[in-house]
Chains A and B, each alone.
Chain A
Amino acid sequence: MLIGDCGSTWTKMLDTESGEFEIIQTRELVRRREIFFDAATGHSAKKRCRIFRNELISLAQGALSLVEEEDFSVVDAGGRDIKYVEFEKRKIKKLDWNLTCGSSTGTTIELLGNYYEVDFKTLRPSEKWINVTCGVFGMEKVLEHVSTGTEAEEAVAMFLHGMVRNVYDFTGRPDKLYLSGGFCENNCFLKTFESYCIVIPLGRMVPLEGLRVGDF
């Protein structure tokens, strides 16, 4: 069975029989019209699959499969949005999906990183932050900082810090948080987050795991 998590910028694909896993940019998925999933989740998946499962359900079921605790919270900070589920006794206590206020902040980080050639593995966290109300406003503030003398790396780290604060507030300021998505691979994001709470990265496979174990 081919399952897919088709985000706005990245698509994760898993063949459950062979175990073959592939990550491609979603722009490539758009070109590869032959790809059709047995089951899929994500913004770009709706017309490319036999069974569509909404993103919050995939995230929740994936987290339940990967985390054994009774009470815990998981957040997926994606390219375009932020999704959050809190469990109590392994039942849904709260869930939320922020499309508008978290608008494209993840994608903007990627754009800024590419533009200023920032390596997020070695980027030092900043104690300062930029108020990131959305990707566009945040980017404008980064450009302003750089034009007035702030090092580009520092300005990008400030943007990242602003995004961490958004995610932390959005999730209700927990003591501990499981993280899903591409930011699990962003060292600066993780270190910045650790100044607020314990953060445990689960990787980019959580929604796929939710699809794998989900009942259809």
Chain B
Amino acid sequence: MIPSGDSRLIGYYGFPLRRLLNSAREKFGPGLEMIDLDIDHGAPDSGLLPVTTCRIISNIMNNSVMLRSRLAVIVAAVGEGKCDRGRNISFLLQGLGLNVIESRFEEKEWEERELIYSSGRGTLSERIDRIMYSVIDPSPAPGVPEPCRPTHGFWGVPPNDYRVLDLFPETTHIYGWTRCVEAGRPSDMEMESYVDEGVPTVFFTQSFCAKQDLAHYLAEKYGGIEVDCHREINDSILAKVEAFIRLS
């Protein structure tokens, strides 16, 4: 949620290095609210990007334009832990006069955090939210989920429309980029392409995202299904996921 009023904000997208997020806080004010610009906050379409743009990238641009007078700084993930479009957007935002700090999460900075939420039992959307919140606050939250054996898998990034997550049972393990975020290594290709063999897994991407290449390959390799969605989830996507979960 974006706080109402005209208070100053720190925006970020992807998984920037924690030390850059911390230094932005120190420089611009420790009390400033941190806003994840990847999420749909209801901003109007900026009209600055092609319609064939991944929804997450569109969200970053739309949110940044809507909040431009309030954003003290944007801490932008632009390296292999995000995507080329993350880098391009950083360039465009700087061209619009926004203050951007670029972050490249390289291997030497990788962390080795325990995969508590990725391999724990609980509501999938809540566990994904908790993982994404760990970008700005990695301290353990109360109520850590119990580990469980996976009956199903969700691979991918947090979707723009969370309704698809409601279909998964509590014993779903999280794979892909979201798992990498929990581990503190968003550019780790080996971890991103890991799934447990034999676990029926849905490989989810936003449409027009480069991760579709990986999702397609991994779905074929492990016998999962590949699902992509542009804006809101529609009935056919929900039905596919529901049928796969129920019948596999």
Option from B234, B244, B246, B248 in Cβ contact (under 8 Å) with A99: B234
Q: A93-B223, A94-B225, A99-B234 are in contact. Are A55 and B239 (CB under 8 A)?
A: yes
Q: What 0/1 readout, one digit per residue, does chain A (59-96) give for beta carbons within 8 Å of chain B?
A: 01100000000000000000001000100100111111
Query: Least Cβ distance of A22 to chain B in Å?
Result: 25
A97 in complex: contacting residue of B239, B246, B247, CB < 8 Å: B239
A206 within 8 A of B: no
Instruction: Mark out the residues of chain B between 200 and 241 whose CB falls within 8 Å of any chain A CB in the assembled complex.
Output: 223, 225, 234-236, 238-240
Q: Does A49 contact B (CB under 8 A)?
A: no
Smallest Cβ distance from B217 to chain A, in angstroms?
Answer: 15
Proximity bits, A40-63, B CB within 8 Å = 1, else 0? 000000000000001111001100
Which residues on the A side are within 8 Å of B242 (C-beta)? 54, 56-57
B243 adjacent to chain A (CB < 8 Å): yes
Interface residues of B in 64-117 (CB under 8 A from A): none
Q: When chains A and B are docked, how far (Å) is the Cα of A16 from the Cα of B210? A: 49
- Kindly count the residue-residue contacts between A and B in the assembled complex, taking CB atoms under 8 Å apart: 40
Q: Which of A61, A81, A95, A99 contacts B225 (CB 8 A)?
A: A95
Main secondary structure on chain A at its contact with chain B?
strand
In the assembled complex, the Cα of A61 lies from the Cα of B242 at a distance in Å of: 13
Q: Are B248 and A97 in contact (CB under 8 A)?
A: no
> Smallest CB–CB gap between B46 and chain A, Å?
25
Min C-beta distance of A122 to chain B, whole Å: 35
Is the beta-carbon distance between B239 and A91 smaller than 8 angstroms?
no
Known: A54-B242, A55-B239, A93-B223. A60 touches B247 (CB 8 A): yes
Give the distance in Å from the alpha carbon of A95 to the alpha carbon of B244 in the complex: 8
Q: Which residues of A have CB within 8 Å of B223?
A: 88, 93
Q: Is the CB of A97 within 8 A of B244?
A: no
Per the bound structure, the CA–CA distance linking A72 and B121 in Å amounts to 35
A99 near B235 with CB under 8 A, answer: yes
For the complex, what is the distance from the CA of A179 to the CA of B227, rounded to whole Å?
Answer: 24
**CB-defined contacts of B240 to chain A, threshold 8 Å:** 56, 95-97
Q: Are B239 and A56 in contact (CB under 8 A)?
A: yes
CA of A102 to CA of B235 in the docked complex: distance in angstroms?
15
Partner of B246, one of A57, A81, A85, A88: A57
B47 CB → nearest A CB, Å:
24
Q: Are A91 and B248 in contact (CB under 8 A)?
A: yes
* B239 x A54 contact (CB < 8 A): yes
Instruction: Report the minimal beta-carbon distance from B240 to chain A, rounded to whole angstroms.
Output: 6
Q: Find out whether the CB atom of B236 lies under 8 angstroms from the CB atom of A92.
A: no
Cα distance, A202 to B248, chains bound together (Å): 23
B residues within 8 A CB of A61? 247
Nearest A-chain residue to B246, judged by Cβ: A57
Contact A81 B243 (CB under 8 A): no
Complex CA–CA separation, A95 to B248 (angstroms): 11
Cα separation A60 to B244 with both chains bound (whole Å): 10
Whole-angstrom distance from the CB of B161 to the nearest CB of chain A?
16
A60: which B residues are within 8 A, CB to CB? Answer: 243, 247
Q: How far is the CA of A57 from the CA of B247 in the complex (A)?
A: 8
A98 CB–B CB distance under 8 Å: yes
With a CB–CB cut-off of 8 A, which chain B residues contact A99? 234-236
Q: Which of B223, B239, B246 has the most CB of A within 10 A?
A: B239
A43 to chain B: closest residue by CB:
B235
Residues of A within 8 Å of B238, CB to CB, are 54
Bound Cα distance A81, B242 (Å):
18
Whether B243 contacts A56 by the Cβ 8 Å rule is yes
- When distances are taken between beta carbons in the complex, the residues of chain A under 8 Å from B239 are 54-57, 97
- Enumerate chain B residues within 8 angstroms of A85, measured Cβ to Cβ: 243
Quote the shortest CB–CB distance from A42 to chain B (angstroms). 11
Q: CB-nearest residue of chain B relative to A87?
A: B247
Q: Which residues on A sit within 8 Å (CB–CB) of B236?
A: 81, 97-99
Q: Is the CB of B243 within 8 A of A57?
A: yes
* A-B CB proximity, top 10 nearest: A56-B243, A54-B239, A97-B236, A99-B236, A57-B243, A92-B247, A92-B248, A56-B239, A54-B242, A60-B247
Given contacts A54-B243, A97-B239, A99-B235, 12 further A-B contacts (CB under 8 A): A55-B239, A57-B239, A57-B246, A60-B243, A88-B223, A91-B247, A92-B248, A93-B223, A95-B240, A97-B236, A97-B240, A99-B234
